[in-house]
A and B are shown apart, each in its own frame.
Chain A
């Protein structure tokens, strides 16, 4: 586990040296969501009906765009090759990296979500469901997307390809994530949907790093 804590510490330290990388996805998320009220006719109730889809698609895109840099700087600096031959299990290194990435770029999305919900005229009683759904959903998106990031890390123009590979894999999370908020808006209990989101998170968090580690080994020409 020494690899895990060391990687976690390293990632947080690196991020604290360049705070802009943390802020950009958050900024993207806020800007994209605030575009919708400008583009949609001001029919009462329309924004509220669209809100689950808008917030979740924006969060999903923010996560996806932030993923391109997940392994790229390490790859360019040669750190990735070091990690591959390091005497610690790559699984834990990857787990730590993705978790740190979520703490620095995913968690801010969750924290700013109530503000955006307020902007989209959501009733205050569903903001809890919105946050809980994003809290369970965004790390799942990170772990799934990390597989694509690992496979495209060595490619010149990998970000477009990353989108093509990862977006179809995001659909289940999107369906249940937006569904949880939709149910909350209809006044239905959200716990079953949250349970499914939690199950997806458990699966992505436990199996994802295996696939990511394999993808990194493939990308490094192993």
Chain B
């Protein structure tokens, strides 16, 4: 993403920054729109505040923004720098993740009110929803990293994919298992071929595919690029699978039972607040896991270099 690379492609740098952020904003808005009303308001207000500030800054001080982006690109793209910066961030991330998860889980399990239909069995939501959303989010992150790895051949992006895939696979598995446990008392079955369940199962398979491909290829750079290509193709597939299974549902049977009475009904703030805490906690857990795994991978790949010898000694 160096500025000369972008201008070689015939694009002014500002255009690049602005269009990228506009696309992200549109995407995030679209995602948030499907959230429950209270969460929707919180997310939208926060997201747009950050977005508008970013825009204002990018248009007001384009050079500073561009230089910062370029500095990040060079620093985070080089393994020793990444190793150092990640090491500085990790303790803080661990603290934030721990606090959010502990507070969210305790609040959700002990203090949130019981559900009027499901009693206490709904409380698995505090594990299930964060895991599901993290599994989806991790695959999108892997796809973005894959695109970066293919276009700019960044070694760090390949390492990121390798670090993300197992986390995503575990989260998808947790989502499937906790969903099955929840489904037994509420739907009367561990498994139905509902659109969401099926999509998550496919997502789990695709994580396994990325990991298998990565393990099958000896040369780390080649393995990284192959996994990157598969991740990008996979992101397209996840979207198509979701809609195709939805369509297949509507053809074969009525819509499945929804979680809380009517579909899309509001979840009460007293239950939503701990849920949001748990979700953010899981995102920070994602950051911690990926950074730790990436650092380990960097050490292994650079094990013959001088700086690693110093670091380890």
Where the two chains meet, the residues of A that have a C-beta atom closer than 8 Å to any C-beta of B are: 147, 151-152, 154-155, 158, 161, 164-165, 167-169, 171-172, 175-176, 179, 182-183, 200, 211, 214-215, 218-219, 221
Q: Which of A154, A176, A214 contacts B244 (CB 8 A)?
A: A176
Tell me whether B206 and A218 are in contact (CB under 8 A).
Answer: no
**Complex interface: chain A residues within 8 A of B202 (CB):** 168, 171
Tell me whether B225 and A172 are in contact (CB under 8 A).
Answer: no
Name the residue among B150, B206, B209 with the largest chain A CB count within 10 angstroms: B209
Flag whether B251 is at the interface (Cβ < 8 A): yes
Do A151 and B244 contact each other (CB < 8 Å), given the known contacts A164-B212, A179-B251, A214-B150? no
> Within the assembled complex, what's the spacing in Å between the Cα atoms of A167 and B206?
9
B residues 213-263 in Cβ contact with A at 8 Å:
213, 216-217, 219, 222, 225-226, 229-230, 232-234, 237, 240-241, 244-245, 247-248, 251
How many residue-residue contacts, CB under 8 A, span A and B? 70
Q: Write 20 A-B pairs (CB below 8 A) sorted by A numbering.
A: A147-B229, A151-B229, A164-B212, A167-B205, A168-B205, A168-B234, A168-B237, A169-B233, A169-B234, A169-B237, A175-B244, A175-B247, A182-B251, A211-B232, A214-B150, A214-B229, A218-B225, A218-B226, A221-B219, A221-B222
Flag whether B208 is at the interface (Cβ < 8 A): yes
Closest chain A CB from B151 CB (angstroms): 11
Where the two chains meet, the residues of B that have a C-beta atom closer than 8 Å to any C-beta of A are: 150, 202, 205-206, 208-209, 212-213, 216-217, 219, 222, 225-226, 229-230, 232-234, 237, 240-241, 244-245, 247-248, 251
Closest chain A CB from B277 CB (angstroms): 33
Tell me whether A175 and B245 are in contact (CB under 8 A).
Answer: yes
Tell me whether B230 and A151 are in contact (CB under 8 A).
Answer: yes
> Within the assembled complex, what's the spacing in Å between the Cα atoms of A105 and B89?
55
Tell me whether A164 and B209 are in contact (CB under 8 A).
Answer: yes
Further 13 A-B residue pairs, CB within 8 A, beyond A164-B208, A175-B244? A155-B216, A161-B212, A164-B205, A165-B230, A168-B209, A168-B234, A168-B241, A171-B241, A175-B245, A200-B240, A214-B229, A218-B222, A218-B229
A154 (CB) vs chain B CBs: closest residue: B217
Do A211 and B229 contact each other (CB < 8 Å), given the known contacts A168-B202, A172-B244, A175-B245? yes
Tell me whether A155 and B217 are in contact (CB under 8 A).
Answer: yes
Q: Which of A158, A165, A176 contacts B209 (CB 8 A)?
A: A165
A186 (CB) vs chain B CBs: closest residue: B251
| Majority SS at the chain B contact face | helix
> Within the assembled complex, what's the spacing in Å between the Cα atoms of A161 and B214?
11
> Within the assembled complex, what's the spacing in Å between the Cα atoms of A82 and B213?
25
Closest chain A CB from B187 CB (angstroms): 22
Tell me whether B240 and A172 are in contact (CB under 8 A).
Answer: yes
> Within the assembled complex, what's the spacing in Å between the Cα atoms of A22 and B208?
32
Tell me whether A172 and B213 are in contact (CB under 8 A).
Answer: no
**Complex interface: chain A residues within 8 A of B226 (CB):** 151, 215, 218-219
Closest chain A CB from B244 CB (angstroms): 4
**Complex interface: chain A residues within 8 A of B237 (CB):** 168-169, 171-172
Tell me whether B248 and A179 are in contact (CB under 8 A).
Answer: yes
Closest chain A CB from B221 CB (angstroms): 9
Q: Which of A161, A164, A172, A200 contacts B241 (CB 8 A)?
A: A172
A174 (CB) vs chain B CBs: closest residue: B244
**Complex interface: chain A residues within 8 A of B217 (CB):** 154-155
Tell me whether A215 and B229 are in contact (CB under 8 A).
Answer: yes
Tell me whether B213 and A175 are in contact (CB under 8 A).
Answer: no
B238 (CB) vs chain A CBs: closest residue: A168
> Within the assembled complex, what's the spacing in Å between the Cα atoms of A183 and B248?
11
> Within the assembled complex, what's the spacing in Å between the Cα atoms of A211 and B150?
11
Closest chain B CB from A152 CB (angstroms): 7
Closest chain A CB from B153 CB (angstroms): 10
**Complex interface: chain B residues within 8 A of A154 (CB):** 217
B239 (CB) vs chain A CBs: closest residue: A172
7 closest A-B pairs by CB? A172-B244, A175-B244, A172-B240, A218-B225, A168-B205, A165-B209, A175-B248
